[in-house]
A and B are shown apart, each in its own frame.
Chain A
């Protein structure tokens, strides 16, 4: 499946807050298929960049452009936050909510949400209140909710931060299968191992600037900048 709303182009995008430039200027394009990993240490601007792409963050300069009319572009993306937003509803109703927004009937929405929930391994917890879930389960619920509209582009902001190995593996499996279904994934992480496992393409950020953009295998075998090299090797960046 070739996405209709890609490609995504950022042209000299800048975000300034309180007189300080926290991101950019950054220019890049995202198109084609696969998983793009935003890699970089804390505070390097990964979250701001993701939010700017998705349209959640007000940009101070430059331009973010998608293909097609604005409403369609907005409706065909989904975003998974670092700490999942829990609605005060049951797990099932949380997952079904985006379908209800699209005008899908309640019974149909709940049935499809139940299928999605089961796919991500929440089958036994669907009737529980969302806030009773554990950290890993919350993230899986957020993933199911994001995927239920079958988005063309899925953004994830550190979905596995604070999760143990098992939950991380389960989430990576879900992401791989979404990728196989043709969802274009853009995800931030500061975990080099995870980046290595998932990345088709890597964008390396440092101090709010895009320092490197390369295919996954190129990036990990021969990083072009000393900062990227240090990050891959687990050295602490200044």
Chain B
């Protein structure tokens, strides 16, 4: 209990004094995760819509696979990305291992199935409502997907936020591919793992509280900006 109180106090001190190390790794956490979420949303949201409006032979299999991939173990993703980008791997020449870029790539792989899967669920219901109208209006597939993505945007924000939540708290993959290098690839989660290992519980807890506060702040900010849960809006 004492450790937790100390952690809280330490967290308060770090935030109030705007500790430069804390600011740096917090900014890097945000940069990596927000970039990964944006890229994964750009892939996952249209993929979800596409799966909802198209009927093809392997559709059920693809959806089941997507749902299964939501539980992809980050450590395994990290290992595979590590092998692909290591000196002897196929992408070794790019020299991306132990950079924020490869951390973003690993996170995109982890959260794209989550975003696509939740987006598909949301859009499937909207498509059931819109089906007759959009068919009757002689829309193209692209127009249907655009209408569904736009009109379902508030539900889709939940999908993206779920992806963000998974990515910001993720440690296994980015530890492996990023290497937790000070001033280069250290982020909040890997720093927590390191400080815990060193027995520096107060600092680790402080970083943990900052991480939780960050996740809550991003969610609140987006909800306020998009004005969900307000009266007659969807």
Interface residues of chain A, those whose CB is within 8 Å of chain B, are 54, 56, 71, 74-75, 77-79, 81, 85-89, 97-98, 101, 128-129, 131-132
User: Known contacts A129-B232, A129-B233, A131-B232: does B133 contact A85 (CB below 8 Å)?
Assistant: yes
| Most central of A85, A86, A88, A129 by chain B CB within 10 Å | A88
Q: What are 23 A-B contacts with C-beta separation under 8 Å?
A: A54-B136, A56-B132, A56-B135, A56-B136, A74-B138, A75-B138, A77-B136, A78-B136, A79-B132, A81-B132, A81-B133, A85-B129, A85-B133, A86-B129, A87-B130, A87-B147, A87-B151, A88-B126, A88-B151, A88-B234, A101-B139, A128-B232, A131-B232
B137 on interface, CB distance cutoff 8 Å: yes
Tell me if B143 counts as interface (CB < 8 A to partner A): yes
Whether A132 pairs with B147 at a CB distance below 8 angstroms is no
Name the distance in Å between B142's Cβ and chain A's nearest Cβ.
11
Cβ 8 A contact of B137, one of A86, A101, A132: A101
Interchain CB contact under 8 A, A129 and B234: yes
Quick one: which of B132, B136, B232 has the most chain A CB within 10 A?
A: B136
Residue of A nearest to B151 (CB): A88
Shortest Cβ gap from A145 to chain B (Å): 9
Contact partners of A74 in chain B: CB under 8 A: 138
Chain B residues whose C-beta falls within 8 Å of the C-beta of A85 in the assembled complex = 129-130, 132-133
User: Contacts of B233 on A, CB cut-off 8 Å?
Assistant: 129
Given contacts A81-B133, A87-B147, A97-B147, 9 further A-B contacts (CB under 8 A): A56-B132, A56-B136, A75-B138, A81-B132, A85-B129, A85-B132, A85-B133, A87-B151, A98-B137
Measuring CB to CB, which residues of chain B are less than 8 angstroms from any residue of chain A? 126, 129-130, 132-133, 135-139, 143, 147, 151-152, 232-234
Q: In the complex, which residue of chain A has the Cβ closest to the Cβ of B152?
A: A88
Cα of A224 to Cα of B133 in the assembled complex, Å: 37
Main secondary structure of the interface of A (DSSP, over half): mixed
Label chain B's interface by main secondary structure: helix
**Given the interface contacts A56-B136, A75-B138, does A132 sit within 8 Å of B232 by beta carbon?**
yes
A15 to B167, CA, bound (A): 51
Contact at A101–B143, with CB atoms within 8 Å?
Answer: yes
Which B residue's beta carbon lies closest to that of A149? B137
Name the residue of chain A whose CB is nearest to the CB of B133: A85
User: Which 5 A-B pairs rank lowest in CB-CB distance, beginning with the nearest?
Assistant: A85-B133, A74-B138, A88-B151, A79-B136, A88-B234
Q: How far is the CB of A91 from chain B (nearest CB, A)?
A: 12
Q: How far is the CA of A167 from the CA of B20 in the complex (A)?
A: 67
Residues from chain A with a CB closer than 8 A to the CB of B136 are: 54, 56, 77-79
Give Cα A162 to B132, complex, Å: 20
A114 to chain B, nearest CB (A): 20
Name A94's closest neighbour in chain B (CB-CB).
B133
CA distance A98 to B135 in the complex (A): 12
User: Given the complex of chains A and B, what is the CA–CA distance between A128 and B133 in angstroms?
Assistant: 20
Chain A residues whose CB sits within 8 angstroms of the CB of B133 once the complex forms: 81, 85, 87
B154 nearest CB neighbor, chain A only? A88
Question: Could you tell me the distance in whole angstroms from the C-beta of A158 to the nearest C-beta in chain B?
Answer: 14
Chain B residue contacts of A77, Cβ below 8 A? 136
Closest to B134 in A: A85
Smallest Cβ-Cβ distance to A129: which chain B residue: B232
Which of B138, B139, B232 lies at the interface centre, i.e. has the most chain A CB atoms within 10 A of its CB? B138
A74 to B233, CA, bound (A): 33
How far is the CB of B139 from the nearest CB of chain A, in Å? 6
Alpha-carbon distance between A44 and B143 when the two chains are bound, in angstroms: 35
Most buried by B among A71, A77, A87: A87
Residue of A nearest to B233 (CB): A129
Distance (Å) between the CB of A89 and the closest chain B CB?
A: 7
Please indicate the chain B residues that have their CB under 8 angstroms from the CB of A86 in the complex: 129
Q: Within the complex, what minimum Cβ distance (angstroms) separates B225 from chain A?
A: 18
Instruction: Please determine whether B138 and A89 come into contact, CB atoms closer than 8 angstroms.
Output: no
